[in-house]
Amino acid sequence: MMPLLDLRLRRIRVGKKRFLPFLRPADDNETLLLRHLREGELYGLFLNRRQPVSMAVVADARAAFAAGSEDAAAAPGLAGLRVCECLALVTAEPFRGRGCAAQLLLRLCGLYDGDYDAMIVGTGDTPRMRRFYEGRCGFTPCFRRVNFFTRFYEGPLFEDGVQLRDMLVFCRFLRGGAA
C-alpha cells in the first residue's frame, strides 16, 4: 500500500483526554491509560493537519531504572541510564499496515535522542509485535515484566490467540546527547 504523504508530527499539550478513545486499542486498562496521559507527553501524526493517524505517549522512566528498582534488576544494562518509555502506540484502523506507527516511533526516537540514553516499549509477546518492534523499528528484546498482564488486568488477555502473561520490553539505545 502507498505510504501516506503529508503526515505532520504534533505534540498535544492541551486537552489530552479527548484522545482517550483513539488510544483505547493500545490498552484495555483505562486507569493505566489515563495515568500515561497525565504523566507523559502525547504525540500524533496528523494527516492534512487535523486527522490523527498514529498516536503515542512518551514518559520519563528514569525512576523505574534507579538502583534497586524491579526494572533495573531485570535489565541491569539500563540501570542508572536516562530511559524514556513509549506507551500506548496506536494507528487508527483504516491506516494500519502503511508504516505509520513505525514512522511515529522512529521520529520519537529522534526527538528524545538528545536527552535520553534509551527508549523502551513494552508489549505482549506475540510474533507480530516482535516483527514490528524488532523487524520494522530496530528495537531489541531486553527484559520481561513478569506476570504484568495477569497482575494488572481483570481476566485473561489474548492477542493473536496467545494468552498474554509477561510484558516483553524492547529497547533502543539513543545517543543521549553524545556527539
> In the complex, which residues of this chain contact ligand COA (CB under 6 A)?
25-26, 54, 89-91, 96-102, 123, 128-129, 131-132, 136
Q: Give the C-alpha separation, 80 to 58, whole Å.
A: 19
Nearer to ligand COA, 22 or 112 (CB): 22
Question: Shortest approach of ligand COA to residue 27 CB, angstroms?
Answer: 7
Burial 110-145 (b: 16+ CB within 10 A, else e): ebbbeebbbbbbbbbbbeebeebbeeebebeebbbb
Residue with cell 521520529: 107
Nearer to ligand COA, 91 or 142 (CB): 91
Question: Shortest approach of ligand COA to residue 177 CB, angstroms?
Answer: 27
Question: Shortest approach of ligand COA to residue 68 CB, angstroms?
Answer: 27
Nearer to ligand COA, 82 or 96 (CB): 96
Other beta carbons within 10 angstroms of residue 89's beta carbon come to 24
Question: Shortest approach of ligand COA to residue 60 CB, angstroms?
Answer: 18
Whole-number Cα distances in Å, 18 to 23, 64, 106: 10, 28, 25
Question: Shortest approach of ligand COA to residue 15 CB, angstroms?
Answer: 21
Other beta carbons within 10 angstroms of residue 149's beta carbon come to 20
Question: Shortest approach of ligand COA to residue 115 CB, angstroms?
Answer: 23
Nearer to ligand COA, 81 or 102 (CB): 102
What phi, psi does 108 have (nearest 5°)?
Answer: -65, -35
Q: Give the C-alpha separation, 127 to 96, whole Å.
A: 17
Our CA angle for 84, 86, 92, nearest 5°, is 160
Nearer to ligand COA, 79 or 153 (CB): 153
Nearer to ligand COA, 60 or 125 (CB): 125
